Structure 1
Amino acid sequence: MVLEPTPPFRLDITTWTLRRRPDNIIDRWDGRVYRRVLIKNDQPFEIAVSQFGDSHKPQLQLEVTSEFEIPGLKEHATSMVERLLGIHINLGEFYRFGENDEMLNISLNRFRGLKPPRFPTYFEALANAIACQQLTLTVGIRLLNSLAERYGPTIHTSDGTFYGFPRPQDLAKADKEALRAMGFSYQKASYLIGLSQAISNEELDLEEIAKLGDEDAVKQLCTLKGVGRWTAEYFLLRGLGRTHVFPGDDVGARKNLESWLDLPEKLNYDGVHETLKPWNRYGGLIYFHLLLKSLTEKGTVPF
């Protein structure tokens, strides 16, 4: 299948903003093709996405592989790609705004074609945030890898065995000690299993939270065990796709912002939002651009 993203679009930098670390086994990238294992109707399938055409006239080749016949698979796979890679999000207003902003324009020109990625489910966005709390991103990604290997959907191909992220029902019956053996703290293991059980038992509906405004959504999310302000705002950005949200408690993002603006002092939460006032409609987009800038400068990504 051929998909046509809203230009400009670059698959490589968008994938890295989703992937973040080279040892991420859930969001895989070989330098040309983005791959991920997903699930529909209890059956796993794999998407493989490659780009042809430049960023101004982009086209994507989507290939879908499954060991079983899955009704509606092509349509579902297409919607997942649209969500994961943000291919139909029109950033024209953001680019026009950046043309008149010297600081922003440098970043936009460097990473033109980056789209804001999202996790495929609200559950994965929230679980991802909980796993990465108060840890280095490298450690957080490795914990998520372990969850996928133990509890996620699996695809077997001639190239090997590959894993997707677990669903709530996959983790709801998990043993806390098994998660502890992976490296999760006792509290995080309890939070993740409790979240999975609440969703599986229909005691928690993240779709309802998605209907709320930012402030109310954060308040509602913060009533959940293991969810604080950083996790809630991370969920708004990477789960709900609210690209004006800059998670102000994100230590790494703060450092990226301080470095970008060459600030003499460290920012606190209120300082982050005060500093971002000139760009407050685009906080999340700036968050992604600064993340990619940091990954590039550290040599994590090969461009």
Structure 2
Amino acid sequence: INVSSPFRLDYVVWALRRRAHNEVDRFDAGCHRRVLCLASESAEVTVRQDPAASRPSLIAELRGPAGTAGRAAIAEVGPVLERTLGLTVDLAGFYRVAASDARLNALAARSRGMRPPCFPTVFEAVVNAVACQQLSLDVGIHLLSRLARRFGPAVPGPVTRYGFPAPAQLADVEPTELRALGFSTAKARTITSVAGQVAAEALDLEALRDADDDRAMGILLGLPGIGRWSAEYVMLRGLARYHVLPGDDVGARNNLRRRFGLAEDAGYDAVARLSRRWQPYAGLVYFHLLLDALAARGYVGEAG
């Protein structure tokens, strides 16, 4: 898979996985691994960046439950990777905006080649948002990994790997089963309710990709247990609305304080005012701030 320059797979994957204990999105030995719940079958995709290529190039391998994945799965996986890894996102405009802001320019240079990731499905983005509500990201990722191990599609091998559950795999789950994994009662009810609606085709979350911002936000806010932070999180990470910077995001606010001098008592409106200067790329600033924080933890290195 040829990709325009600059591109760094490690940056994209870390912006997607967020924490080292994420079992849905794994990254080791330079390879991104994820089990995908495709229409034809569940399969594990392994993606690595070719270090010998003269321009950014990715090599993807697909493994199904019986070994070699079928032709239908191979045909399906390309568009999924394109969306998930932001392969067609043009960053030229963002880099032009960054060049006019010294602090943002330095931040962008440190993670040059990062493309904004997007969850494969809007449903996965919704469940990620719900899992991480009012919890540390560390705890939220643990909950999501447990959810995948318990209900997600499995691809056997030397080590069985699990993917993120599809709505149909959670639609008939009792909230008490999610409570046993550590989810609160309210979160368990939200997840099973949304899963049931999507599985019954009473709710089409994927159609939100074509909706305008107001309609998408309105539908998301109408879901049980979804408030402003969760809706904006889904807009950015599930609908690829890269102008959206979730203004209630505690981690983002902390990062904005550290790198851009946001006041300690700054609220949602202050974040919105600060981020106006970066539009329509405020969401890309969010991802670069995340990578900056991950680099401080030693997870990712700076661009060479």
TM-score (norm 1): 0.95
Match of 2:248 in 1: 249
Greater than 6 Å deviation, 4+ residue runs: none
Match of 2:49 in 1: 51
Kindly state the Cα deviation for residue 266 of structure 1 after the two structures are TM-superposed.
2.7
Match of 1:206 in 2: 205
1:221-254 deviation per Cα after TM superposition (whole angstroms, max 9, x unaligned): 1111011111111111001101111011111111
Match of 1:143 in 2: 143
Match of 1:289 in 2: 288
Spell out the pairing of 1:1-303 with structure 2 (5 A cutoff): 3-41=1-39, 43-53=41-51, 57-68=55-66, 70-158=70-158, 160-301=159-300
Kindly state the Cα deviation for residue 215 of structure 1 after the two structures are TM-superposed.
2.4
Partners of 2:52 and 2:102 in 1: CA distance: 25
Partners of 2:243 and 2:218 in 1: CA distance: 18
Kindly state the Cα deviation for residue 56 of structure 1 after the two structures are TM-superposed.
7.8
Distance of aligned partners of 1:70 and 1:54 in 2 relative to their CA distance in 1, 3 Å threshold: closer
Partners of 2:160 and 2:135 in 1: CA distance: 28
Kindly state the Cα deviation for residue 183 of structure 1 after the two structures are TM-superposed.
0.5
**2:230 alignment partner AA:** T
CA contact (8 A) 1:7 1:56 kept: no
Partners of 1:22 and 1:118 in 2: CA distance: 18
Distance of aligned partners of 1:282 and 1:173 in 2 relative to their CA distance in 1, 3 Å threshold: same
Indicate the RMSD between aligned Cα atoms, in angstroms: 1.6
Partners of 1:259 and 1:268 in 2: CA distance: 15
Partners of 2:301 and 2:208 in 1: CA distance: 38
CA contact (8 A) 1:9 1:55 kept: no
**1:171 alignment partner AA:** L
Distance of aligned partners of 1:32 and 1:104 in 2 relative to their CA distance in 1, 3 Å threshold: same
**1:5 alignment partner AA:** V
Kindly state the Cα deviation for residue 189 of structure 1 after the two structures are TM-superposed.
0.4
Partners of 2:73 and 2:139 in 1: CA distance: 33
CA contact (8 A) 1:36 1:46 kept: yes
Query: 2:180 is paired with a residue of what secondary structure?
Result: helix
1:46-65 deviation per Cα after TM superposition (whole angstroms, max 9, x unaligned): 11001124898211111111
Question: Which runs of 5 or more structure 2 residues have no equivalent in the other structure?
Answer: none
Kindly state the Cα deviation for residue 86 of structure 1 after the two structures are TM-superposed.
0.5
Q: Which moved more, 1:140-149 or 1:91-100?
A: 91-100
CA contact (8 A) 1:258 1:267 kept: no
Kindly state the Cα deviation for residue 302 of structure 1 after the two structures are TM-superposed.
5.8
Kindly state the Cα deviation for residue 157 of structure 1 after the two structures are TM-superposed.
1.4
Distance of aligned partners of 1:56 and 1:115 in 2 relative to their CA distance in 1, 3 Å threshold: farther
Partners of 1:122 and 1:237 in 2: CA distance: 10
CA contact (8 A) 1:10 1:55 kept: no
Identical-pair percentage: 44
**1:80 alignment partner AA:** V
Partners of 2:123 and 2:10 in 1: CA distance: 25
Kindly state the Cα deviation for residue 92 of structure 1 after the two structures are TM-superposed.
1.0
TM-score (norm 2): 0.94
Kindly state the Cα deviation for residue 256 of structure 1 after the two structures are TM-superposed.
0.7
Partners of 1:213 and 1:297 in 2: CA distance: 36
